[in-house]
Amino acid sequence: MRTRIVVFPGSNCDHDAHYAVKNILGETDTEFVWHKEESIGKDVDLVILPGGFSYGDYLRTGAIARFSPIMKDVIRFAKDGGTVIGICNGFQVLCESGLLPGALMRNDALKFRCTFVDLRTENTSTRFTSTLKGGQVLKIPIAHGEGNYIAEPEVIAELEANKQVIFRYSDEGGNVTPATNANGSINNIAGIVSKEGNVMGMMPHPERACEAALGSADGLNVFTSLQNYFQELRGIRKAA
């Protein structure tokens, strides 16, 4: 799984993502790409836009990163069907770039929240969630001040109808209520995929929950799902 992790000025979860994919998952072809580069390189399987505070969150979170030289190629890659994950600030960048619908606003409680949350899995038929069971609850940390997901009502209706919402903030038992909403997101939305299913954004940090020593290994599911997806894809290509 050739993985490229974009490093913006102010990214701070780039090394976490690199460690999760390379050291824990064992995918040796995992490298950083500096935002000034104009190409992500050839035959890339997965692009990760990591968490952090790209450009100091100036203007709006993710608003300036969208104009980094590398983003032209990331947008091209995504539009060609390439697999892209945006985590936390990466999710904000994907929304600002128009690769995912909606926007992320200040948390409703006005607080920066850094804590473990429970997430209920809503759709297991995506390349990001295939190792999970429907309704499975994951323990994954969040660390953000602006994760309050919003979109026009018709966009939300479309996301729900297409099962594009893949994770919701819940309690340990998988109950989704206003009390389990970490930041005020509409419908407790914590993660979504694009209509085509190749671009995923989530506020919680799966890369920070990939081994028991970190308090949870639940986040690894996102990466093993992708590993399986690309292995199967290669198998199909070989057979053809």
For residue 152, the minimal CB distance to other proteins (Å) is 7
**SS3 label, residue 7:** strand
Owner of token pair 């499975």:
136
- The residues pairing with 113 across neighbouring beta strands, listed in sequence order, are 144
33, 8 in Cβ contact below 8 A? no
Orientation of helix 69-79 relative to helix 89-97, angle to 10°: 70
* Residue 77 CB partners (closer than 8 Å, separation 6+): 40, 44, 47, 84
Among residue numbers 158 through 187, which ones bind other proteins (CB under 8 A)? Answer: 184
For residue 106, the minimal CB distance to other proteins (Å) is 6
152 near other proteins, rule: CB under 8 A: yes
Among residue numbers 42 through 61, which ones bind other proteins (CB under 8 A)? Answer: 59-60
Nearest to 117 by CA among 88, 149, 140: 140
Nearer to other proteins, 29 or 108 (CB): 108
Nearer to other proteins, 62 or 204 (CB): 62
Q: Which stretch binds other proteins (CB under 8 A): 7-15, 150-158, 173-181, 222-230?
A: 150-158
139 near other proteins, rule: CB under 8 A: no
Nearest to 13 by CA among 210, 227, 150: 210
Q: Enter the DSSP assignment of 138.
A: E
118 near other proteins, rule: CB under 8 A: no
Is residue 205 among the annotated active site residues?
yes
192 near other proteins, rule: CB under 8 A: no
Q: Enter the DSSP assignment of 61.
A: T
For residue 149, the minimal CB distance to other proteins (Å) is 11
Nearer to other proteins, 24 or 150 (CB): 150
Q: Enter the DSSP assignment of 198.
A: S
* Residue 108 CB partners (closer than 8 Å, separation 6+): 148, 181, 183, 184
Rounded CA separation 49/210 (Å): 17
Among 26, 34, 56, 109, binds other proteins (CB under 8 A): 109
Nearer to other proteins, 156 or 166 (CB): 156
Catalytic residue among 88, 95, 122, 210: 88
* Residue 27 CB partners (closer than 8 Å, separation 6+): 1, 3, 21, 227
Among residue numbers 60 through 89, which ones bind other proteins (CB under 8 A)? Answer: 60, 63
Nearer to other proteins, 128 or 149 (CB): 149
* Catalytic residue annotation: 88, 205, 207
Residues that bind other proteins (CB under 8 A): 59-60, 63, 96, 102-103, 105-110, 150-152, 184
